[in-house]
Homo-oligomer: A and B are copies of this chain.
Amino acid sequence: MITARPELDHALAAADEAAEEFAHSTPSTRAGRLRAVADALDAEAGTLVPLAHRETHLPENPRLSGELARTSFQLRLFAEVLVDGAWLDATVDHADPGWPMGARPDIRRVRTAIGPVLVFAASNFPFAFSVAGGDTASALAAGCPVVLKAHPGHPRLGARTGDVVTAALRGAGAPDGGFAVVHGDDVGVAALRDPRIRAAAFTGSVRGGRALFDVANARPRPIPFYGELGSLNPVVVTRAAVEARGDEIAREFVASFTLGAGQFCTKPGLLLAPEGSDMAGHLDRAVAAASPAPLLGEWIAQGYAARVADLHQAGAETLVAAEGGDPSRPAPQLFGAPAARLLAEDTTLGEEVFGPASVLVTYRDEAELREVLLRLAPSLTVSVQAEQADVPAVSRLMPVLTRAAGRLLWNQWPTGVTVTWAQQHGGPYPATTAPTTTSVGTAAIERFLRPVAWQGFPDDLLPPALRESNPWSLPRRVDGSRAPED
């Protein structure tokens, strides 16, 4: 177990050493390695899931077993991405003496691995955003060695998962050193400062993520830092929707904001409902029927209590709280405030609360709703609960909704992020530190690739993706045309 600087130095040297083999292995070789890791994780479910439960208090079924299934699926999906080849963005421009700005040389571009990547595991997803999660899967797919900083909330699971991944990679023929798990905040920061690390990825709090972002940018040679930090995930409900489906919306909203004890990055933390509608009444019944659930740990419970106190301080009143619970197993609760209050105060009402609480904000009219959406910090998601008759009004709001988040939902709930080709899990700061990227979905691989162009090279020195005969049968753009000519 790597918990101190000398062992870290060894792990970084090994990652640096493995980088060349990783970068130049063929996509199909790497696809085989990802599938081997997925198979190994599935085979170890019987030990990994109970271990995760012991360290995180999350229920084994369906929560943790489902998360592990998502994790191995994600590895297999990146194997499919690798074989597809579009991620290489292979582009060939033949020499052209008639190129309008002046004769053009033969120039060809392809994406290559950025080098060793440092991944910080998240507290709240011990599988899908941790040791073998999306950041690791996309970095390995890109051809990058991974140094994984385990989360202190589930250290034994981190170590055990690391052993499974390491053994699977070795079994699939990958060189040693391409994957390592390290423990300890000091060790994580030292790794982030090390010149052998070429990019980093993080999922966690605004405070922790911003501190690491600052470390990455303060290096003599800064590196890309892909941080997913905090997200309020507002939900807009129209008057017609409250009238047509108020009870259903309330039940689904409470289910979403209390899922995983409200510890999801996509938890809806704000419900915007029209003044004078009966949304509060519907919510009163739904929240009262909810149950307490254990938080991930003592440090989360402390943060939750502090944020709840902040909300009171900022003028939010408690509308309803479920029965029972204690500080480590808080009862779900709902706060309330008029939109005018949110617009008048600083930013407290619009900040994420990590835990089973949300805020009902009532808006007077479309103009005030628009003002609130423009004021809120960007989120990972923004959702709309509306009826067909609301389409013209929502249409007017679309530019504001688009500015507010990376993913927009219509009559659906933001928790439960599917992993697909079209998924986008990102957004402007503080949702993430890198708004042009996603950390979930197949496009996540792009974060760990940098383009390199070859000008005038003999065919046998070009990477296979760029050779004239297109030996990998890749989709390529040739002389500006998407239809491959070769």
Contact = CB atoms under 8 A, between A and B. Distances in A.
B101 A409 contact: no
A460 B399 CA distance: 14
Contact of A114 (B114, B223, B436): B436
B438 A451 contact: yes
A453 B422 contact: yes
Contacts of A303: none
A84 interface: yes
Interface in A402-417: 402-403, 405-412, 416
A221 B422 contact: no
Interface of A: 20, 23-24, 66, 69-70, 73-74, 76, 80, 84, 86, 89, 91-93, 99-102, 104-105, 107-109, 112, 114-115, 198, 213-214, 217, 221-224, 377, 388, 391, 394-395, 398-399, 402-403, 405-412, 416, 418-424, 426-430, 433-438, 441, 443, 446-447, 449-458, 460-461, 475, 477, 479-480, 482
A101 B452 contact: no
A429 B109 contact: no
Given A73-B101, A428-B198, A458-B391, A107 B418 contact: yes
Nearest to A90: B422
A198 B437 CA distance: 15
Contact of A451 (B91, B388, B418, B426): B426
A395 B434 contact: no
Copies of chain A in the complex: 2
Nearest to A455: B409
Interface centre among A24, A398, A399, A418 (most CB of B within 10 A): A418
23 contacts: A66-B102, A73-B101, A74-B101, A93-B420, A93-B423, A99-B418, A107-B418, A114-B435, A217-B217, A221-B377, A221-B428, A222-B433, A224-B435, A391-B458, A391-B460, A408-B452, A408-B455, A409-B455, A412-B456, A421-B480, A422-B453, A435-B450, A436-B447
A457 to B, nearest CB: 4
